[in-house]
Amino acid sequence: MKRLRRDPRVELRSCDRHGRVPEGAAPVAGVVEVVASEARHVAALRRKYGMEYRIITAVERLVRGRRQRVILRISLDQPTS
């Protein structure tokens, strides 16, 4: 978070859920904005990830306690195809 607040520029590449980037994946530049977490953000994550989200957040609470979540909004500099 400290780095993103200092310099919000990011570069994204497509990857699988294990973080493996396919050969030839083109980077896309963007800018990150830190937004306040709202109930609608949590609801969207629950809808998208279902039970996986609930399990991860339960484990997270056991390990890290109840820290405030951060939501990042990424705006791409160029449209993706």
Per-residue model confidence (pLDDT) at position 67: 74
CB atoms within 10 A of CB 36: 9
Give the model confidence (pLDDT) of 38-48 as tens digits. Answer: 889 889 989 99
**Is the C-alpha dihedral spanning 26, 27, 33, 35 positive or negative?**
positive
Amino acid at residue number 48:
K
Per-residue model confidence (pLDDT) at position 10: 94
Please say if the pLDDT value at position 78 is more than 70.
no
Q: Beta strands 71-76 and 9-12: pairing type?
A: unpaired
Give the model confidence (pLDDT) of 16-36 as tens digits. Answer: 989 999 999 999 999 999 888
Entry pTM? 0.64
